[in-house]
């Protein structure tokens, strides 16, 4: 669902006082030349390097800055990334340049550009697709893998579509009726009219346990906050109903059990996007991983149960 992808960039999570203690996303990041393009990254803290890979595909890093305090009094360095085509990083001349493979190779290129021997990966939502793909291809340079409200296969992404649409049809029948009339006229997910109708469903309905924690508080605009062209290139032109293209083909289920690095899987009981019944499949596909279910979270435990999550992350990254 398109709405899940840019909310983080439009909400101010940190107070002015708190933000003053950390680098500013707008001015204090650094550009790195990776695979022929400039990628923008913001580094917070010192210690174990953790690449924070945003959701989407199409989202930037700004909303994840709620995690800054994780670096205080810990040996953790968070490296927030605007992937190719997102935020302040370069965009493609041709949308076909946006692929999962490119995102994976950009992580490796950024690691080399930053002269890091090994990196931990915190991949959230779509970011988990990149993180898992990187860990499978480059296990020797992956110190830790954190799959945060992630997806293990195209089947799980399709379950996201199916469940989201079922919930909308059941609980917002007036929106669903309007959507069906638009689709009967030929509209598909990537059409603006289709996106506008979906936008009538509150974000909090599908993605949160407590919607009050996701109310905006006047954050200033960030460049290219969400790249919808990238999103539909990756999920397919009707990707909110039938996943296609890259997202319609990835599948890590057979590979996860072979990973040797410490792995942490994070799930939310009220996540209607990375749905719990598919999250629990990680116990089968990746039995060596530590699995944590947050009982009072939806798609973003880093917002809804931040204190609990941070304690778990600090201990996990010591492994």
C-alpha dihedral, 23 to 26 to 31 to 35, nearest 10°: 120
- For 94-145, write each residue's pLDDT tens digit: 999 999 999 999 999 999 999 999 999 999 999 999 999 999 999 999 999 9
Residue ranges in the chain whose pLDDT is less than 70: 1-20, 216-219
pLDDT of residue 21: 86
pLDDT at 20: 54
Contact between 63 and 7 under an 8 Å Cβ cutoff? The reply is yes
Give the pLDDT score at 3: 45
Determine the pLDDT at residue 317.
Answer: 97
242 contact partners, CB below 8 Å, separation of at least 6 = 158, 161, 236, 248
**pTM, two decimal places:** 0.95
Residue-level pLDDT at 220 = 81
pLDDT score for 215: 81
Starting at the edge strand found earlier in the chain, the sheet holding 263-268 runs 30-34, 37-44, 76-82, 48-53, 119-124, 142-148, 263-268, 290-294
Residues with Cβ < 8 Å from 189, sequence gap 6 or more?
2, 195, 232, 235, 236, 237, 238, 239, 240, 241
Residue with tokens 């669903």: 176
Contact 9, 62 (CB under 8 A): yes
Helix axes 154-171, 173-184, angle to 10 degrees: 120
Instruction: Say if CB 84 and CB 106 are below 8 A apart.
Output: yes
Q: Are strands 76-82 and 37-44 parallel, antiparallel or unpaired?
A: antiparallel
Q: Give burial (CB, 10 Å; 0-12/13-18/19+) of 295.
A: exposed
Separation of alpha carbons 72 and 75, rounded Å: 8
What lies within 8 Å, CB to CB, of 4 at 6+ separation is 55, 125, 203, 206, 207, 273, 299
Q: Residue 79: which of 127, 33, 120 has the closest Cα?
A: 120
Q: What is the pLDDT, as a whole number, of residue 217? A: 56
Q: How distant, in Å, are the alpha carbons of 151, 157, 159 from that of 280?
A: 11, 14, 13
C-alpha dihedral, 1 to 95 to 110 to 308, nearest 10°: 0
């Amino acid at each position: 669902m398109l709405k899940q992808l840019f909310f983080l960039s439009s909400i101010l999570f940190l107070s002015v006082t708190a933000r003053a203690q950390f680098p500013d996303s707008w001015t204090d990041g650094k550009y790195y030349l990776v695979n022929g393009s400039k990628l923008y990254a913001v580094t917070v803290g010192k210690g174990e390097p953790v690449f924070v890979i945003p959701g989407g595909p199409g989202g930037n890093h700004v909303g994840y800055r709620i995690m800054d305090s994780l670096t205080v009094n810990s040996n953790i360095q968070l490296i927030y990334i605007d992937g190719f085509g997102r935020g302040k990083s370069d965009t493609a001349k041709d949308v076909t340049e946006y692929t999962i493979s490119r995102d994976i190779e950009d992580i490796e290129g950024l690691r080399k550009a930053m002269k890091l021997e090994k990196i931990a990966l915190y991949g959230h939502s779509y970011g988990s697709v990149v993180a898992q793909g990187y860990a499978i291809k480059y296990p020797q340079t992956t110190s830790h893998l954190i799959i945060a409200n992630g997806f293990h296969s195209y089947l799980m992404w399709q379950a996201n579509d199916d469940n989201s649409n079922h919930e909308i049809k059941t609980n917002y029948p007036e929106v669903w009726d309007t959507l069906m009339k638009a689709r009967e006229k030929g509209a598909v997910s990537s059409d603006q009219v289709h996106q506008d109708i979906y936008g009538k469903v509150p974000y909090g309905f599908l993605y949160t346990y407590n919607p009050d924690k996701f109310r905006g508080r006047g954050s200033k605009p960030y460049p290219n906050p969400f790249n919808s062209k990238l999103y539909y290139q990756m999920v397919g032109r009707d990707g909110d109903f039938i996943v296609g293209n890259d997202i319609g083909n990835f599948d890590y289920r057979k590979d996860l059990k072979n990973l040797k690095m410490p792995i942490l899987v994070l799930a939310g009981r009220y996540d209607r996007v990375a749905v719990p019944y598919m999250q629990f499949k990680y116990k089968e596909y990746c039995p060596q991983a530590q699995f944590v279910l947050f009982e009072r979270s939806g798609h973003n435990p880093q917002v809804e149960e931040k204190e609990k999550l941070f304690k778990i992350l600090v201990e996990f990254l010591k492994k």
